[in-house]
Structure 1
Amino acid sequence: MDWQSLRRVITDNSKEGRSRVLIDGAAAKLIAVEEAGLAEIWSAGLEEGKLLDATDRLAEADLKLEPDPGSVKVRWFSVAPEDASKSAEELDAAAAFAFNAVGAAHCRVDTARHPMMHKTASLDVIVLVKGEVDLLLDDGEATALKPGDVVIQRATNHGWVNRGEETALLVAVLIHAD
């Protein structure tokens, strides 16, 4: 995955009320292991007066899976093809490491179906940009999602699995939903 090729363009209004580019560049934060990872684009508070705050809240904050209470977060994330050579114990250890790294160990509420299953306190709008990925749920799955497909993930236990050969790239908008 070429994370450096991903570009975020954030707009703003000047003191005179004229639109302009505030940020034009790479992700605010990135965490990746081989082909899998996530890169933060933007976060904003949803309270009155916070949505248009020009502060890049992600630049100084620790990278976290879930948005803060009262906020929205936008990110890219990738799902590498599943490695059939890894044992169940290795997959579980890798998933535990990944969720710990983004402060989300508590999100792994039921991993019986797959080690990457997790449940966040958020409403997520997910768009598949590149590749193919399956959305696993407790009861069923949306198989072979294609680029352009949109998933509205409503605070349910889920996991993403890539059974293809190409790393999948997705964009997510996460809205805290406590």
Structure 2
Amino acid sequence: MDWKSLRRVITDNSLEGRSRVLIDGEAAKLIAVEEAGLAEIWSADLADGGLRDVSDHLAESDLKLEPEPGAVKVRWFTVAPEDPSKSLEEREAAAAFGFGAIGAAHCRVDASRHPMMHKTESMDVIILIKGEVELLLDDGEVSLKPGDVVIQRATNHAWVNHGQETALLVAVLIHDQQ
């Protein structure tokens, strides 16, 4: 994955109320191992001036899977093709490491169906841009192709790629105030 080819454009209003570009460039933060990774686009506190906040908080903060309560997070993420040569133990160790690296070990509530199963306390709007993936749920699965949109509502799930090409997705994660 050529992460530098992914561009984020963030707009803003000047003091005179005129629209302008605030940021035009690559991701604020990236964590990737081989072809799998997360690249942060934007984050905002919705309850406290999220539309008016012009700071790019992501560059200074630790990369976390979930947005804070009352916040939204926008990111790209990739799902690499599964490697059939890896044992279940190797895939489990990789999943545990990956979720731990993004502060989400607690999200792995039931990984009995697949090592990448996890549950966040957010509503996620996921758009598949490139490649193909399967959305695994506790009961069932859905094959997705580019252009498909998933509204994932705080459910235990995993993204699995049985194809040959790394899948690219965009996620908008919304965490209400609980």
State the secondary structure of the residue aligned to 1:40. Answer: strand
Distance 2:55 2:69 in 1: 17
Amino acid aligned to 1:166: E
Residue 69 of structure 1 deviates from its aligned partner by: 1.0
Q: Where does 1:123-162 land on structure 2 (aligned, <5 Å)?
A: 123-143=123-143, 145-162=144-161
Q: Where does 1:42-121 land on structure 2 (aligned, <5 Å)?
A: 42-121=42-121
Residue 48 of structure 1 deviates from its aligned partner by: 4.5
Provide the identity percentage. Answer: 80
State the secondary structure of the residue aligned to 1:115. Answer: coil
State the secondary structure of the residue aligned to 1:111. Answer: coil
Amino acid aligned to 2:160: V
The answer to whether the 8 A contact 1:123-1:176 is kept is yes
Partner residue of 2:24?
24
Amino acid aligned to 1:113: R
Distance 1:38 1:29 in 2: 8
Distance 2:130 2:36 in 1: 13
State the secondary structure of the residue aligned to 2:141. Answer: strand
**Superposition misfits of 4+ residues, deviation over 2 angstroms:** 48-52
* Mean Cα deviation higher: 152-161 or 43-52: 43-52
State the secondary structure of the residue aligned to 2:129. Answer: strand
Distance 2:10 2:84 in 1: 39
TM value normalised by structure 1:
0.98
Partner residue of 1:174?
173
Considering only aligned residues, what root-mean-square deviation do their CA atoms show, in Å? 0.8
Q: Where does 1:5-16 land on structure 2 (aligned, <5 Å)?
A: 5-16=5-16
Residue 165, structure 1, aligned to residue 151, structure 2:
no
Distance change (3 Å), C-alpha of 1:10 and 1:79: same
Distance 1:4 1:27 in 2: 8
Residue 50 of structure 1 deviates from its aligned partner by: 2.8
TM value normalised by structure 2:
0.98
Distance 2:169 2:127 in 1: 6
